[in-house]
Amino acid sequence: MSLQSAQRETLSPDAAAAENSRSPFVRLTDLIAGIAPGKPAINLSVGEPQHAVPDFVGPVLAEHIAEFGKYPANKGTDPFRHAVAQWLGRRYALEKPVDPESEVLVLNGTREGLFLAAIAARRYVKNRAGSNGTLPAMLIPNPFYAAYAAGAAAAECEPVYLPCRRDTGFLPDLDALDPALLKRTVAFYFASPANPQGAVADRAYLDKLVALSRRYGFIIFADECYCEIYSKDKPAGMLEAAGAGFANTIVFHSLSKRSNLPGLRMGFVAGDAKFLAAFLELRNVAAPQVPVPLQHVAVAAYNDEAHVERNRELYNAKFDLADQIIADRYGYTRPAGGFFLWLDVSKQGGSEAATKRLWAEAGVRVVPGRYLAREQADGSNPGADYIRVAMVQDAETTAEALHRIVEVLG
């Protein structure tokens, strides 16, 4: 038994919950602390795009540099909101155009939006406590992006983790949801393409989720940050399934992955106008405004598809490498979207053991899937047998890292 396994078995429930709530990257640092990398280090742990920043960013910032001296409106500038609404209309088959005045808000990237939206939803969706005194619930795919659980905790809701395993297509099983749970659900966090597995929900799945939200009155928080990174078919969007009024449906988008601008902290939220009005009320007192020059960069980014297409080609070239080098090992199949590999290392001792070996013997830094998920009621963890590999480096570095993974794990 590993030291980490022994520690988990001896932790009290409160201590285990505290450990689980820590950042997966902090936990990873602790896991490999004191272990020297076996070869020159290659970092494939953080989903931080390493492709070039688009050429237009510098000139746009320079042109609007004086506008750093202004307090911007919290809802976003008119040009930004109009650019977003027009892009959504071009990208998705919507029943009606998005109204830039009432159905779009600017965000400091999607992390803060996904977090604060939970608090807004808790105030907006009424009468959610269970009849036996149970808390209102927020449904979260498992594994998941850490901001979802943080938002649920801040909103004083029970996070309910929905296992996303191979047998469910790495998406939550909507047919398995208990009506009693849905009746006390405030919000359902959902990601397509999924982080980390890269699963993409088809239109029928999205239609079913929208129907559940209307029947039970909860809000869908659709995290679509990876929507422009895909292998073959464009992922469908939740607004397409939401119909003309976008009722109960909110989508989150970011330039971090689409445009290789993670440091810009630029994104938006769009959808149900009534909820967004309530969300804006919270943001007006709780969220920092987004600088106007950054919004001008976003306008340029949403009006340019050439850099997005080049970006997608670079990722697809690296997945071609994975197809060749990883092949049929570790349960690998090329993901439909996103830029992660989700590799089954159950035969190599599980996610933590494989992560330590890859660092100690190969100098490759990946994330244990266990740290990206939570234990289910039966004690299982849907990420325990997997490692997440971020395909963010250049092709040469990526190929070297993949060869090292195969050399070490067999």
For residue 348, the one-letter residue type is Q
pLDDT, position 21: 76
User: Is residue 241 domain-shared with residue 273, that is, in the same domain?
Assistant: yes
229: how many CB neighbours lie within 10 A of its CB?
25
User: Is residue 28 domain-shared with residue 110, that is, in the same domain?
Assistant: no
Domain boundary among 304, 331, 351: 304
Task: State the CATH number of the domain containing residue 405.
Answer: 3.90.1150.10
Please, which pLDDT band fits residue 125 given cuts at 50, 70 and 90? very high
CA distance 319 to 392: 11
User: Is residue 206 domain-shared with residue 329, that is, in the same domain?
Assistant: no
Task: Provide the sign of the torsion angle of the four alpha carbons 223, 226, 231, 236, taken in this order.
Answer: positive
Decide: helix, strand or coil at residue 75: coil
Task: Provide the sign of the torsion angle of the four alpha carbons 382, 384, 387, 388, taken in this order.
Answer: positive
Domain boundary among 273, 304, 335: 304
User: Is residue 294 domain-shared with residue 403, that is, in the same domain?
Assistant: no
List % helix, strand, coil for the chain (3-state, nearest 5): 50, 15, 40
- The two three-digit tokens of residue 78, written as one number: 């008119």
- The two three-digit tokens of residue 19, written as one number: 């450990």
For the segment 338-356, what is each residue's pLDDT rounded down to a tens digit?
A: 999 999 999 999 999 999 9
Q: What's the total number of domains in the chain?
A: 2
User: Is residue 192 domain-shared with residue 237, that is, in the same domain?
Assistant: yes
User: Is residue 227 domain-shared with residue 118, that is, in the same domain?
Assistant: yes
Whether 159 is in a domain gets the answer yes
> Cα Rg for the chain, rounded, in angstroms?
21
Whether 19 is in a domain gets the answer yes
Instruction: Show Cβ contacts of residue 176 under 8 Å, excluding neighbours closer than 6 positions.
Output: none
Taking Cα atoms as reference points, which of 255, 248, 203 lies closest to residue 226? 255
In the chain, what percentage of residues exceed pLDDT 90? 92
CA distance 395 to 399: 6
- The two three-digit tokens of residue 245, written as one number: 């009024």
Structural domain of residue 321, as residue ranges? 3-47+307-409
Whether 253 is in a domain gets the answer yes
pLDDT, position 133: 78
pLDDT, position 6: 38
Helix or strand run (H / E) with residue 274? helix 273-286
Domain boundary among 285, 304, 323: 304
Question: Does 363 have pLDDT greater than 80?
Answer: yes
User: Is residue 113 domain-shared with residue 242, that is, in the same domain?
Assistant: yes
User: Is residue 42 domain-shared with residue 134, that is, in the same domain?
Assistant: no
For the segment 87-116, what is each residue's pLDDT rounded down to a tens digit?
A: 999 999 999 999 999 999 999 999 999 999
Whether 323 is in a domain gets the answer yes
User: Is residue 223 domain-shared with residue 252, that is, in the same domain?
Assistant: yes
pLDDT, position 22: 87
User: Is residue 263 domain-shared with residue 355, that is, in the same domain?
Assistant: no
User: Is residue 261 domain-shared with residue 340, that is, in the same domain?
Assistant: no
CA distance 376 to 101: 42
pTM score, whole prediction: 0.94
CA distance 163 to 332: 19
User: Is residue 86 domain-shared with residue 202, that is, in the same domain?
Assistant: yes
Q: Which long-range contacts (CB under 8 A, 24 or more apart) does 354-358 make?
A: 354/387, 354/409, 355/28, 355/31, 355/32, 355/387, 356/31, 356/32, 356/35, 357/408, 357/409, 358/387, 358/404, 358/405, 358/408, 358/409
For residue 95, the one-letter residue type is E
Task: State the CATH number of the domain containing residue 244.
Answer: 3.40.640.10
